[in-house]
């Protein structure tokens, strides 16, 4: 009988194939006591396994080069840091010596101890980093057990099959994902993870359909089972009869053809049926992401998240390092605009090199983060602003200030920009004195009081991820309330509408750079609200362009006006679905 499991869907793809189950190395571990003369050989065996894993991670990072996205590279570096952490390796060696237990048993006991510490962390994002430790432990265990390398196992099981495989796992490490992406995998499903887990980040980076956080997954699926992933619905289907398989095989072929057809839109202008031009920009994390954005036909960089330059390192990047990174992006974009956001650290963006005080805040999302932290750290802020301004000598740079709650923070930030300019003039360093400085509208107070803010900004960028979170009082990283996170809530839509209208009245450019920008179900809604500049993950640009080119903005504006009057998210969703369906029907 057919069954369906639910989880968190990543992307909007559909895939059908055979299940390839990646078992955990923590199953059926040997547990034994050592004789005194066996301790040193056991320590040696453990250290050799750690060395093997270290070489594997280093080798992957070196050989992948440009193939690895910024996200993947950062996650690999994070796992390398975990491997060097004495809390894992040195503590396991102590267990082997003092308890005289075999290495596998000692490592598993230490994993349990470390996991317990993570479970006590209140912040959901940081709590999920337990999975990174578990993945490293699995790799060490495989090395100790003398298993054949994962790539060889995958190649042996995968190379002759024409139907394609769907990876099923408890979790997938960044290193394993880099190996798996070389082979014929159509998508993947994991038992753990959430929308902010590393597995989800990797799925978005690779553009693969995926479903994560599927409870009971490994008890339900066996090797070679035929399954279907519907990532938009967050559904995994199995035990399908021949007729069902035929239907999904046809849908999968249509989806594949649809992706290929998107290439036809690369050279086409991004404008509506009634001639309204729309800018489609890309969000990036590191300079290596720029080429992907250009390949998808972006009009510029709408959001360069500078905090990724600060992550997974023990020291703060210098002004020169930042300048090199920013200028590399600006030069590559060759005249297209590049919007660089100043440091947005804190909350779910952990930067170990920065100090956020001795006491951990009860709610990091409401604590000292983003512009609040920058203004409290003027030397760091000035260094970053100087680097951005220096990059402006090579192209069109726009400086974006995150988490602005009102005019006072923006006034202070602009004063710091002027200080940075004065410093550069004194040193004789080139920059564009007319560099635009804008505010990210992601705090409800900024959207509500936007009329008082427009006098102090050159442009605005709506960050819907946090705007939704703060408006609805929902932690977007907490799975227990994730179902309440709704971009179609009337309060959210009215804040977006108010921001766009106010910026238009003040003749200020306004963009939207949250996840809503890349969701094609919401494209017509945003066009109807008056949005003319979208910024999204590069993989979504051509999908959004296709919707733009098939839409009449004039008719959408009237329809969206009616949606804004609805009192309930469910009614908005129903009305939007009807509006999208009408736009797809020929006259």
Instruction: Report the pLDDT value the prediction gives residue 358, as an integer from 0 to 100.
Output: 44
Structure tokens at 42: 């056991």
Nearest alpha carbon to residue 178 among 289, 67, 83: 67
pLDDT tens across 377-419, in order? 999 999 999 999 999 999 999 999 999 999 999 999 999 999 9
Q: Cβ(419)–Cβ(382) under 8 Å?
A: yes
- In Å, how far are 90, 150, 172, 182, 468 from 176, measured between CA atoms? 24, 8, 6, 10, 34
HSE toward the beta carbon, residue 302, CA cutoff 13 A:
30
Give the H/E segment covering residue 10. strand 8-10
- The reported pLDDT for the residue numbered 147 is 55
Summarised one tens digit per residue, pLDDT across range 8-47 is: 888 778 999 888 887 665 555 677 888 889 999 999 999 9
For each of the domains in the chain, give its residue range(s) and CATH number, in order of start: 3-243 (1.10.274.10), 261-445+459-464+509-584 (3.20.20.60)
Is the predicted pLDDT of residue 484 greater than 90, yes or no? no
- CA-to-CA dists, residue 313 to 44, 74, 133, 353, 380, angstroms: 29, 10, 17, 7, 16
Mean pLDDT within 536-565: 92
Percent of the chain whose predicted confidence (pLDDT) is above 90: 47
Cβ atoms 474, 466 nearer than 8 A: no
**Does residue 503 carry a catalytic annotation?**
no
- Can you give the pLDDT at residue 69? 55
Q: How many CB atoms lie within 10 A of CB 288?
A: 18
Q: Exactly one of 198, 456, 489, 537 is catalytic; name it.
A: 198
- The vertex-539 CA angle with 76 and 6, nearest 5°, equals 75
Q: Say what the pLDDT of residue 134 is.
A: 78
Residue 183 among the catalytic residues: no
Strands 8-10 and 210-212: antiparallel
pLDDT digits (tens, 9 = 90+) for 497-520: 999 999 999 999 999 998 899 989
Catalytic hit among 101, 456, 513, 537: 513
């Amino acid at each position: 009988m057919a069954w369906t499991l639910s989880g968190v869907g990543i992307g909007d793809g559909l895939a059908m194939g055979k299940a390839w189950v990646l078992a955990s190395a923590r199953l059926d571990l040997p547990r034994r006591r050592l004789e005194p003369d066996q301790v040193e050989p056991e320590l040696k065996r453990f250290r050799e396994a750690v060395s093997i894993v270290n070489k594997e991670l280093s080798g992957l990072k070196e050989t992948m080069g440009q193939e690895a996205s910024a996200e993947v590279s950062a996650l690999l570096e994070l796992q390398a840091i975990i491997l060097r952490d004495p809390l894992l390796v040195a503590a396991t060696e102590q267990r082997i010596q003092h308890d005289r237990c075999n290495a596998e048993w000692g490592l598993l006991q230490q994993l349990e101890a470390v996991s317990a510490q993570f479970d006590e962390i209140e912040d959901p994002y940081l709590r999920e980093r337990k999975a990174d430790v578990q993945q490293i432990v699995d790799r060490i265990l495989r090395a100790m057990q003398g298993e054949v390398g994962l790539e060889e196992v995958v190649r042996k099981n995968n190379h002759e099959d024409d139907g394609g495989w769907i990876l099923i796992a408890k979790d997938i490490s960044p290193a394993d994902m880099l190996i798996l992406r070389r082979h014929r995998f159509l998508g993947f499903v994991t038992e753990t993870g959430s929308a902010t887990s590393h597995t989800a980040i990797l799925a978005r980076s690779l553009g693969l359909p995926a479903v994560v956080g599927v409870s009971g997954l490994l008890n339900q699926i066996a090797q070679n089972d035929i399954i279907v992933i519907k990532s938009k619905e967050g559904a995994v289907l199995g035990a399908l009869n021949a007729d069902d398989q035929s239907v999904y095989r046809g849908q999968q072929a249509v989806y594949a053809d649809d992706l290929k057809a998107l290439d036809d839109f690369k050279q086409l202008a991004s404008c509506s049926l009634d001639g309204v031009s729309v800018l489609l920009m890309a969000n990036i994390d590191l300079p290596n992401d720029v080429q992907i954005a250009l390949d998808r036909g972006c009009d510029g960089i709408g959001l360069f998240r500078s905090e990724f330059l600060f992550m997974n390192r023990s020291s703060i990047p210098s002004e020169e390092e930042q300048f090199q990174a920013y200028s590399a992006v600006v030069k590559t974009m060759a005249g297209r605009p590049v919007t660089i956001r100043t440091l947005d650290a804190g909350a779910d963006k952990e930067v170990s090199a920065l100090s956020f005080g001795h006491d951990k805040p009860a709610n990091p999302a409401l604590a000292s983060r983003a512009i609040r932290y920058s203004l409290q750290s003027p030397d760091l802020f000035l260094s970053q602003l100087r680097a951005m301004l220096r990059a402006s000598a090579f192209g069109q740079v726009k400086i974006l200030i995150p988490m602005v709650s009102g005019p006072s923070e923006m006034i202070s930030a602009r004063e710091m920009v002027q200080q940075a300019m004065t410093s550069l003039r004194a040193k004789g360093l080139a920059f564009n004195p007319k560099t635009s400085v804008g505010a990210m509208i992601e705090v409800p107070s900024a959207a509500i009081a936007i009329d008082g803010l427009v006098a102090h900004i050159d442009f605005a960028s709506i960050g819907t991820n946090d705007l939704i979170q703060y408006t609805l009082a929902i932690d977007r990283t907490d799975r227990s309330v994730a179902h309440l996170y709704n971009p179609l809530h009337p309060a959210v839509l009215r804040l977006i509408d108010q921001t766009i209208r106010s910026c238009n009245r003040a003749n200020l450019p306004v963009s939207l750079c949250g996840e809503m920008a890349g969701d094609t179900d919401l494209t017509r809604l945003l066009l109807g609200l008056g949005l003319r500049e979208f910024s999204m993950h590069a993989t979504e640009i051509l999908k959004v362009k296709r919707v733009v080119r098939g839409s009449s903005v004039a008719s959408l504006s009237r329809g969206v006006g009616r949606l804004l009057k609805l009192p309930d998210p469910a009614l908005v969703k129903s009305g939007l679905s009807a509006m999208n369906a009408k736009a797809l029907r020929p006259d």
